[in-house]
Structure 1
Amino acid sequence: MTTQRMLTGDRPTGRLHLGHYVGSLANRVRLQHRYETFLILADLHMLTTANRADDIARVTGNVREQVLDALAAGIDPARATFYLQSAIGEVAELNTLLQSLVTVPRLQRVPSLKEMSRAAGEAEMSYALLGYPVLQAADILCVKAHAVPVGQDNHAHVEVTREIARRFNHLYGDTFPVPELVRSDVTSLIGTDGRAKMSKSLDNAIYLSDSADDVRRKVAGMFTDPNRIRPDVPGRVEGNPVFEYHRAFNDDHAQVAELETRYREGRVGDVEVKQALAAALNRFLDPMRERRSHYEQQPGLVDEIVVTGTERTRQVVRQVVFEARKAMGLAGAYNRLRRSAERHARR
């Protein structure tokens, strides 16, 4: 039986944070032992909202940071293939082949695209951003991935990929597996400001690479129940970011239940609840810090991982794109013209 594949990844726009972990990274770590794993460093996708020269100049450093974050989180470099999207030209070719299999109105219904455009401060959506899900489909299908663990923002994108795969197979014969979306247990993680999801651009994130002091400082400033002005006032646990983090990351479930009860009854202050959360987060992050330090002490390792993975992925993608062209009949058209031209040249 052929080994099934998993593909997912991130745009190299900065370090990974707790939102990335609950959205997709935890599933990557869990599933890497079940699937042949491809992790894309999606710098072409980055261009849809960050395409200035200084944005592109930061790609190399951001790629190194993100690979270190993934290794620190528990990705085994012996089991996962990291690759740089822009280094594999055949991905763009497959993107072109797939573009005719989806309509503009269908892409306009993808909810996250408008949100991405607004977050980037764009008055109008670019052609590249509208086509983001098609390029993502090319990423997924170019390695014939069977599983795609992504955060909530990308759920609709994976559904577009599934539609494109089915459409291609219907028109040209079975070529691509229809990939399955792997959902996360925590659909999204609110930022430390309590007003929006965790995001690098909003400066409301706790990063996987943050120091223990950084975590304590950020937790101390977290938003809680705005209507609670004293510790003896009964507080709201539901929708309270501090308790959402406790439930997601605190391994001492009895402590979480006890703090929730006391908070609802007005028998504990925000300071104690936040101190317990900071301690829990640092327990969660400490093993990542140790693994990160281990990999950081091996100069050149991350670069070697990316280069080796990119070269390996290129061979896989070339074969898949050849199969797609053959299924469509594109390879045959040129070959017939070439053979005819050669025959006439010999006369």
Structure 2
Amino acid sequence: FQIEIDKSLKVPIYQQITDFIIKGIESGTIQVGDTLPSINQVAREINVARETVIKSFSALQERGIVQAVQGKGFFVMTKSVDIRNRVFLLFDTFSAYKQTFYKALRDSLGPNSIVDLYFHHFNPKIFKKLLRDAVGNYTYYVVLPFDYPEIADYLKYVPEERLCLTDRYPGYLKSGYSAVYQKFDDDVYKALAIAGQLIKKYNCLTLVFCDTITEVPAELKEGFERYCRENGINYQISCGIASDEIISKGDSFLIIDDDDLVRLVEIANERKLIIGQDIGIISYNDTPLKKVVGNGISVISTDFKMMGETIAGIILNNEKACVQNPCRFIDRASF
């Protein structure tokens, strides 16, 4: 087929090329698996610059309508030409609260958008490969970084106006990126201040926190220690809950990892300690299950649903924004 345009129209030439191909797919004259004419051929036949054709084909590729195969050209991949946003979402690992975020983002973007979810598992090589391979195949990129400074270089693969950071904004990154993030030190400090009277019921508050890149950032520990020091709270920091952990009446815990939470509840039950009276438990990051288990687990948590909705708004409105997502203490029966 030969692409046709009308240079007398006010519609940009690259958009006319895109529209022509989309209409051809919709009508059936262009089929899934067909090869598009080469960039040079189109530029020559309609007498436009190669850059104009590249811009059109790239827009189709970002929406997942065509795919570039090196040395062979662009192939039509789908009949679903109504997709307006194709979003690359890169998380660290899967969790229940990230599922809440993902669902909110997907639902808020609407039926004309696709969200492809990937995980880097805190592995810099995987992070780099996934991001590099994705460039050019999506209209927008939502990325959860971690404490590895070379990530600043990897993010340069993506046009800045199409990138939004989520959950974290590490200090090694320059300012200027769109982001919806948590400020962990301030968040935990303010949440503990709200829970202050409850904390005083107990003899000691233990933060169960492993200081590695795969855990919540070290800023959380800094905010915890600052609150306890300034308010005269007896505290300690532990790297985990062992199956034979010694806990006593009057102990209280801020638990980061849900596996530690399960072990702590099991130990308390074995020793006939009443959670919320004999010992106190606050978990970090809310999930639907924590609302109902044992009459409810108290949590410090950002609003992951709001985080997903806010990023969807940035994408749909083509905005640039850097937003601190709200965090709160939710008092339930466990504290």
The two structures share one fold, judged by TM-score above 0.5: no
Q: Which has the higher contact order (CA 8 A, sep 6+)?
A: 1
Length-normalised TM-score, structure 2: 0.29
> How high is the TM-score relative to the length of structure 1?
0.28
Task: Tell which structure's C-alpha radius of gyration is larger.
Answer: 2
More strand by share: 2
